[in-house]
A and B are shown apart, each in its own frame.
Chain A
Amino acid sequence: MLTKSHIFRQLHARHDRQRGALLVEMLVAFGLISLTLVVVAGTFLSTGQSSRVTQRQIELTDSIAFVLADVTREARVGENFGDGAGAELTLTRIAGINNQAADVVRYFIGTGSSANRLMKEVNGVDDLPITPPNTQVNSFEVDVDDTGLLVRLYIEAEHVDAELGETPVRVQTSVAAGRTGI
């Protein structure tokens, strides 16, 4: 015969057992959560590192693409190319194209506070760096073909914050003078 107190006792007993089970479950759950947190935190630490490398590569690629686009555009509407001692490019803008005058444009690697930056100068003045401070241009080599029809370019650059194992980007291309009909 089930009395009131009997039921009460049984309920109490069940309650105690369940509380024990809950404690173990909680311990297991906390253990698993902390394990997951450790894994996630570790992951974030290493991806923070690799995303910085990725960011540097993007900045470097952007700077080089900008420089090559600018040099290509000037060479297309230029003539009388010169390569100095091989480390600069000079050209005269063909007068009349897009209402431009016969300006003399010169690309070279800067010195002093602009060291390792590629500079662009128009008519001997207005020399401005065309690479951002985060890009270190190691080498800018120019070779004007004997025919004057082709300019060979070679640029090696790296990010100023590059760490060990990050290789510099080496880009090479040529630009045919506009009068070749390109």
Chain B
Amino acid sequence: MNTKQGNKEAGVVLLEAIIAIGVLVAMVTGSLLLLSSSSRSVRSANDRLIATYLAQDAVEWIRARWYYNRQFVGGSGWLTHIQCPTGRTCGLETQTDVIVPTTGISECTLLNNCILRQPDPTSPQYSHFDPVSAAVDTPYTRTIVVQTADVDGDGTHDEAEYTVTVSWSSGSGTDSVEILTTLYND
């Protein structure tokens, strides 16, 4: 009888030990996961910084071209080189001059499907072009969608809304940043 009781007690202690180890393992695993996710979030913050500046890159080019159009083209030409067909997704090569852009805003099919290429030593800037046939694609894709409106109803566009989206593949799927800007012509 005493032997039986002793065995039962030993069984209980073993069960307790197993549970305790289980709890310990869960704690260690939990803190590990937390650490790895924090280092992942730092990496994603880095990607986001680069993506945000790439989006700003396009917005500023559009803004400069809009100013140039209003100063030197005038009239209905206020959207020269910064227009995208309705319902289409476009891109912009920001490394070309504002006055005589090689393409300006044009459809993604003409711009490496809007994928930005890897900087290389002779031409390091992010670009849709491949000037040396050595550039490789970066994780970043930059697209621009333009919506025009005729607010005063005079039959011509007088407002254009630009949505610049930079998306990139991260550890867990696709991430993206978006910048909206609106230009007017009075």
Report A's interface with B, CB cutoff 8 A.
Answer: 10, 13-14, 17-18, 21, 25, 28-29, 32, 36, 39-40, 43, 47, 50-51, 53-54, 57-58, 60-61, 64-65, 68, 139, 141, 143, 145-147, 149-150, 152, 154, 156, 169-177, 179-182
CB of B155 closer than 8 Å to a CB of A: no
Residues B63 and A154 in contact, CB atoms below 8 Å apart: no
- B interface residues, how many (CB within 8 angstroms): 44
Determine how close the nearest CB of chain B comes to the CB of A90; give it in whole angstroms.
19
User: Which residues 50-94 in B have Cβ within 8 Å of A in the complex?
Assistant: 50, 53-54, 56-57, 60-61, 63-64, 66-68, 94
Smallest CB gap from A40: residue in B: B28
Given contacts A149-B64, A150-B98, A180-B64, contact A21 B6 (CB under 8 A): yes
User: Which residues 23-61 in B have Cβ within 8 Å of A in the complex?
Assistant: 24-25, 28, 31-32, 35-36, 38-39, 42-43, 45-46, 49-50, 53-54, 56-57, 60-61
Residues A173 and B57 in contact, CB atoms below 8 Å apart: yes
Residues B49 and A149 in contact, CB atoms below 8 Å apart: no
Residues A173 and B17 in contact, CB atoms below 8 Å apart: no
A-B CB contacts (within 8 Å), total count: 128
Residues B38 and A57 in contact, CB atoms below 8 Å apart: no
Smallest CB gap from B49: residue in A: A61
| 27 pairs, CB–CB < 8 Å, chain A vs chain B | A14-B2, A25-B13, A25-B17, A28-B14, A36-B21, A36-B28, A40-B28, A54-B38, A54-B42, A61-B45, A147-B97, A154-B125, A170-B126, A171-B53, A172-B126, A173-B53, A173-B54, A173-B60, A174-B60, A174-B61, A176-B60, A176-B61, A176-B63, A176-B67, A179-B67, A180-B64, A182-B60
